[in-house]
């Protein structure tokens, strides 16, 4: 079993001492004898309209408790109370925590999770969400991940499309990225995309981003619109280009052994709650980015530029080939080609092509 942080261990120990369970296989849940399902998230408790991960776990809590008549009691721990996203994921995989919601970190236990991180893969969130939650291709990916890791996907929501911001000039084409240094998250895929587009990528923690921009360590960064407001990045950034080079997810996962230990009727309610929670999380992200986020950056005086279709094709042609080649070497060309074929299928199915 992988090590978990001391903070996480202590938090889970305290929860267990007050009645939490690790696995429910020896229990027969009922309203009179309930089972506790603990779920963690990194996002802090906020208004449900902009809570993202909090929206996901809060709706999940309400639906599961209501539809099982209290036989499953859900305890939510937002704001990183149980540790980092990585430590929570390791705890879910190891069975010390029942469930969690987060973004990005699944790649550390299942590299194929990177398959949707091809730049300019999705035209819009309709295509992205349909592929992620309806396609046979992604269903097979989730099932393979469950078998390999013991972590079951209950739902996938949208965390946002990632856009470039910077403090030097308006970015309209890949040429405009030359000579600019961009902060990226830890993870090779983010570096590969920025470098393929023509910029220089520097991994920096979110907690250090504002200072790095303020002091000129980097010229820009890439994130969903909502992150600009979250980090007050408007104070140190002048320009935002809505290119949507990467689509990012908020996942909801559960320990598979715990899930399988529950009676079938309760499994059904958990699956349904997971699907509905993901839909709510996506709606929450849309509000956070396209209502609150856009209004915020506009009011703060940032220059907003949306590339033309021709300009986006330049970005796509510049970045996709090298990233696809690298990703194919990491997770297999059959997986990458399967994703590309699936996206094209859904573009046609949904009327976008």
Distance (Å, rounded) from C-alpha 118 to C-alpha 324? 7
The full set of domains in the chain, from first to last, is: 6-106+128-156+251-290 (3.40.190.170), 162-246+301-349 (3.40.190.170)
Assign 168 a pLDDT band (cuts: 50, 70, 90).
very high
Q: Does residue 7 surpass a pLDDT of 90?
A: no
CA dihedral angle for residue 249, residue 254, residue 256, residue 260, rounded to 10 degrees: -130
Distance (Å, rounded) from C-alpha 159 to C-alpha 125? 10
Q: Please write the tens of the pLDDT for every residue from 218-256.
A: 999 999 998 898 889 999 999 999 999 999 999 999 999
Assign 26 a pLDDT band (cuts: 50, 70, 90).
low
Assign 290 a pLDDT band (cuts: 50, 70, 90).
confident
Distance (Å, rounded) from C-alpha 324 to C-alpha 114? 11
- Please give the residue that has the higher pLDDT: either 167 or 15: 167
Residue-level pLDDT at 189: 87
Q: Which of the 8 DSSP states describes residue 290?
A: I
Residue-level pLDDT at 25: 54
- Please give the residue that has the higher pLDDT: either 85 or 271: 271
Residue-level pLDDT at 51: 73
- Mean of pLDDT values over 266-294: 93
Distant-in-sequence, close-in-space partners of 261: CB < 8 Å, separation ≥ 6: 23, 24, 25, 27
- Please give the residue that has the higher pLDDT: either 216 or 44: 216
Assign 38 a pLDDT band (cuts: 50, 70, 90).
very high
Asked which of 11-25, 27-41, 268-282 is least confident by mean pLDDT, the reply is: 11-25
Residue-level pLDDT at 335: 97
pLDDT above 70 covers a percentage of the chain that reads 92
- Mean of pLDDT values over 89-114: 94
Q: Does residue 188 surpass a pLDDT of 60?
A: yes
Q: Does residue 263 surpass a pLDDT of 70?
A: yes
Residue-level pLDDT at 27: 62
Distant-in-sequence, close-in-space partners of 41: CB < 8 Å, separation ≥ 6: 53, 54, 56, 57, 76, 77, 78, 79, 80, 100, 101, 102
Structure pTM?
Answer: 0.87
Q: Does residue 8 surpass a pLDDT of 70?
A: no
HSE of 349, CA atoms in CB hemisphere, 13 A: 13
- Mean of pLDDT values over 343-349: 97
Compute the mean pLDDT over every residue in the chain, rounded to the nearest whole number: 90
Q: Does residue 6 surpass a pLDDT of 70?
A: no
Q: Please write the tens of the pLDDT for every residue from 303-330.
A: 999 999 999 999 999 999 999 999 999 9
User: Is 196 in contact with 319 (CB distance < 8 Å)?
Assistant: yes
Distance (Å, rounded) from C-alpha 67 to C-alpha 63? 6
């Amino acid at each position: 079993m992988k090590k978990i942080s001391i903070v996480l261990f202590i938090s889970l120990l305290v929860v267990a001492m007050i009645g939490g369970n690790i696995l429910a296989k020896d229990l027969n849940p009922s309203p009179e004898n309930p089972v506790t399902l603990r779920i963690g998230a990194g996002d802090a408790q906020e208004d449900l309209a902009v809570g993202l991960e909090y929206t996901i776990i809060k709706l999940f809590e309400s639906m599961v408790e209501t539809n099982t008549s209290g036989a499953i009691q859900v305890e939510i721990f937002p704001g990183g109370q149980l540790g980092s996203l990585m430590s929570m994921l390791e705890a879910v995989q190891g069975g010390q925590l029942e469930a969690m919601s987060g973004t990005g970190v699944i790649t550390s236990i299942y590299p194929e999770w990177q398959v949707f991180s091809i730049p300019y893969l999705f035209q819009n969130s309709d295509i992205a969400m349909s592929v992620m939650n309806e396609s046979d291709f992604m269903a097979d990916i989730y099932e393979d991940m469950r078998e390999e890791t013991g972590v079951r996907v209950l739902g996938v929501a949208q965390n946002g499309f990632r856009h470039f911001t910077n403090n030097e000039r308006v970015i309209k084409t890949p040429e405009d990225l030359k000579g600019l240094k961009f902060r990226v998250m830890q993870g090779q895929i983010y570096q590969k995309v920025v470098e393929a587009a023509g910029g220089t990528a520097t991994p920096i923690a979110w907690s250090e981003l504002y200072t790095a921009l303020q002091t000129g360590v980097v010229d820009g960064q890439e994130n969903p619109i909502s992150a600009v407001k979250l980090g007050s990045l408007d104070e140190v950034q002048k320009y935002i280009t809505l290119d949507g080079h990467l689509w990012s997810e908020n996942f909801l996962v559960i320990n598979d052994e715990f899930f399988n230990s529950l009676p079938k009727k309760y499994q059904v309610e958990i699956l349904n709650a997971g699907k509905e929670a993901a839909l709510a999380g996506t709606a929450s992200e849309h509000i956070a980015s396209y209502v609150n986020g856009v209004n915020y950056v506009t009011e703060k005086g940032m220059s907003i530029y949306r590339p033309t279709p021709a300009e986006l094709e330049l970005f796509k042609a510049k970045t996709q080939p090298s990233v696809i080649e690298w990703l194919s070497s990491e997770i297999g060309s059959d997986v990458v080609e399967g994703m590309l074929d699936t996206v094209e299928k859904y573009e046609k199915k949904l009327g976008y092509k």
